Amino acid sequence: IVVERQREERWLKYNEARKRELEKQREVAEQMALCRKIVREGVEVHAKDVEPEPQ
């Protein structure tokens, strides 16, 4: 029973970490989409508003 609980806790931690990672990726994707939209509309993006991420 103890082993089962440890396994469940590891699984929960893994799921939490994965969920955070996916949310972070989604935020980055949304920012990139927003940048592309702004560029497409010909609006100048000021450096202070959108900081370019190092490649």
Q: How far apart are CA 12 and CA 18, in angstroms?
A: 10
Closest CA relative to residue 35, chosen from 54, 53, 9, 11:
53
Model pLDDT for residues 1-55, shown as the tens digit of each residue: 788 999 999 999 999 999 999 999 999 999 999 888 877 776 555 555 555 566 6
The DSSP code for 42 is T
**Does the reported pTM lie above 0.85?**
no
Q: What angle do CA 34, 39, 29 make, to 5 degrees?
A: 25
Q: What pLDDT is attached to residue 6? A: 92
DSSP for 6-26 reads HHHHHHHHHHHHHHHHHHHHH
Q: 4 in a domain, yes or no?
A: yes
Q: 54 in a domain, yes or no?
A: no
Query: Residue 23: which domain range?
Result: 1-42
Q: What pLDDT is attached to residue 55? A: 61
Q: 50 in a domain, yes or no?
A: no
